Amino acid sequence: MDAVLNALMRSAKNETESPVEAAPTLAAQKPSREEAEAAVRTLIAWAGDDPDREGLIDTPKRVVRAYEELYKGYERPLESVLDRTFGEIGNFDDMVVVRDIVFYSHCEHHMVPFMGKAHVAYFPVERVVGLSKIARVVDLYARRLQTQEHMTSQIITALDETLKPRGVAILIEAEHMCMAMRGIQKPGASTVTMQFTGVFRDDPQEQVRFMNLIRGARP
């Protein structure tokens, strides 16, 4: 396992980062609720069931309401999440770690869920952000159609560009239902992605310390 982690960390250190947009390009005109519900009825019929039977008659409305919650990451701007920082931190200058942030997202290739945990750390410069805000950033990007790789990059870029810390680290581990429920059908397989900026990228010892902390080891 240590050899695998070392290889992953070397790969992340050498990775060339590219800017990630804060928000995706949206459709020019969002379909109406009625059009969305009609699309659900069509999919029910295509799957082979009767959208007019008792158990399914209200399903299109329920699905559209569920989509409003599952994909609410499209609606909220990043600025409203990271809009406030705090300067009363004394002489604190070490890393802040928030681990085990549970998230639920949907694969943009098959629109089936993937879920897992995100672990985030940063080195503040004079000011810190509320801990719940870090979890909200994870949620903001998770509640969209995603790939895990893109989500990892979006989260770290948002924190790095907005907070301007000395460095940010992120590791995401997730199980993808597109692998478990269909296709290769391998339940239990997990995917790990990580990325580093600043001191985390430049100092392998800080990467190791981050990995130890998120796995419960004492500093």
* 205 carries an active-site annotation: no
- Looking at the predicted structure, is the pLDDT value of residue 30 above 50? yes
Q: Is the pLDDT of residue 14 over 50?
A: no
Spatial separation of the C-alpha atoms in residues 56 and 11, rounded to whole Å: 49
Average pLDDT, the chain: 89
pLDDT-derived band of residue 216, with 50, 70 and 90 as boundaries? confident
């790095």: which residue's tokens?
160
**pLDDT cut 70: percent of the chain above it:** 86
- How, if at all, do strands 145-146 and 167-176 pair? unpaired
Q: Are 124 and 163 in contact (CB under 8 A)?
A: yes
Residue 3 has pLDDT above 50, yes or no: no
What was the pLDDT predicted at 16?
Answer: 40
Question: Is the pLDDT assigned to residue 166 strictly greater than 80?
Answer: yes
Determine which one of 37, 106, 119, 148 is catalytic. 148
148 is catalytic: yes
Complete edge-to-edge strand list for the sheet that includes strand 113-123: 145-146, 96-107, 113-123, 167-176, 191-196
Q: Which of 17, 107, 161, 175 is catalytic?
A: 107
Q: Which of 176, 195, 206, 207 is catalytic?
A: 176
Q: Which residues have a Cβ under 8 Å from the Cβ of 214 and sit 6 or more positions away?
A: 97, 99, 119, 121, 171
Annotation marks residue 15 as catalytic: no
The token pair at 102 is 């549970």
**pLDDT tens digits, one per residue of 171-196:** 999 999 999 999 899 999 999 999 99
> 0.95 cut: is pTM over it?
no
- Stronger pLDDT, 80 or 143, i.e. the higher one: 143
Please name the helix (run of DSSP H) or strand (run of DSSP E) that holds residue 67, with its range, or none. Answer: helix 59-70
Condensed to tens digits (0 to 9), the pLDDT of residues 37-77 reads 999 999 999 999 999 999 999 999 999 999 999 999 999 89
Q: Is 126 a catalytic residue?
A: no
Of the pLDDT bands very low, low, confident and very high (cuts 50, 70, 90), residue 91 is confident
User: Is residue 108 annotated as a catalytic residue, yes or no?
Assistant: yes
Which H/E stretch holds residue 35? helix 33-47
Across 86-90, 113-117, 171-175, least confident range: 86-90
Which of the residues 34, 109, 126, 149 is marked catalytic?
Answer: 109
